[in-house]
Amino acid sequence: MGCEVEISYLSGIYYHKAYNSQAFIFRCEIADGSLITLSDEHSEYQYEVIENLSAVQQQRVRQCLEFDGQVVSDKF
């Protein structure tokens, strides 16, 4: 991303059976005054409102935002 990112916490670990993969969700913030710089691996970025995400993504984001100090584990 070409900028400094501060990791606040790990909120969830999720298993995706369809892809046989694990997803780890972290709450992060971009440092004040930082600008995102895309690399050759990315063509664009954008911010989305939660309601525009898939049901699974909405669940992971909400669990991250409601983090109470306990890392959530779930499978899909």
- Report the chain's C-alpha Rg in angstroms: 14
Cα–Cα distance measured from residue 39 to residue 64, given in angstroms and rounded to the nearest whole number: 27
Q: Is 57 exposed, middle or buried (0-12, 13-18, 19+ CB in 10 A)?
A: middle
Residue 25, Cβ neighbours under 10 Å: how many?
19
The reported pLDDT for the residue numbered 37 is 87
Collapsing DSSP to helix, strand or coil, 40 comes out as coil
Q: pLDDT tens across 19-70, in order? A: 899 999 999 999 888 888 888 888 888 889 999 999 999 999 999 999 999 9
Site of tokens 């909120």: 11
